[in-house]
Structure 1
Amino acid sequence: MHAPDPSRDTYDYAVIRVVPRVEREEFVNVGILMSCPAAKFLEARIEVDEARLRALAPDIDLDTVRRHLAAMEAVCRGGPGSGPIGLLPQRARFHWLTAKRSSIIQTSPVHLGRCTHTGDSIEHLMDRMVRVPRG
Structure 2
Amino acid sequence: MTQLACRYALVRFMPHSDAEEFVNIGIVVACPQTGFFGFRLEAQKHKRVTDFFEGLSPEMYSAAVLVMSGELERVKRQLERQQGDDIAARTRALFEGVTHAREAQVKFSKARVALADSPEAELDRLYKHYVDRTSPTSV
TM-score, normalized by length of structure 1?
0.79
- Report SS of the residue matched to 1:74: helix
Residue 75 of structure 1, CA deviation: 2.9
Give the residue type in structure 1 aligned to 2:72.
E
SS of equivalent residue, structure 1 residue 14 = strand
Task: Report 1 or 2 for greater relative contact order, CA contacts < 8 Å, sequence distance ≥ 6.
Answer: 2
1:1-56: CA deviation from partner (whole Å, max 9, x where unpaired): xxxxx811111000001101111111111111100011210111112330011112
Distance 1:134 1:41 in 2: 26
Give the alignment's Cα RMSD to 1 decimal. Answer: 2.2
Contact in 1 for aligned 2:38/2:120 (Cα 8 Å): no
Out of 20, 34, 37, the position equivalent to 1:25 is: 20
Count of aligned pairs between the two proteins: 122
Q: Identity over the aligned pairs, expressed in percent?
A: 21
**Is 1:59 matched up with 2:56?**
yes
8 A Cα contact 1:44 1:76, kept in partner: no
Contact kept? 1:43, 1:76, Cα under 8 Å: no
Give unmatched runs, 5+ long, in structure 1.
Answer: 1-5, 80-88
Structure 2 length-normalised TM: 0.77
Gap runs ≥5 in structure 2: 79-89
* Deviation by residue 1:89-113 (Cα, 9 ceiling, x = unmatched): 3322211111112310101111001
Aligned twin of 2:132: 131
- 1:75, 1:93 within 8 Å by CA — same for their partners in 2? no
Corresponding residue of 1:34: 29
Matched residue of 1:42: which SS?
Answer: strand
Moved over 6 A (4+): none
CA distance, structure 2, for counterparts of residue 78 and residue 91 of structure 1: 15
Deviation per CA, 1:50-70, whole angstroms, max 9, x where unpaired? 001111222341342133222
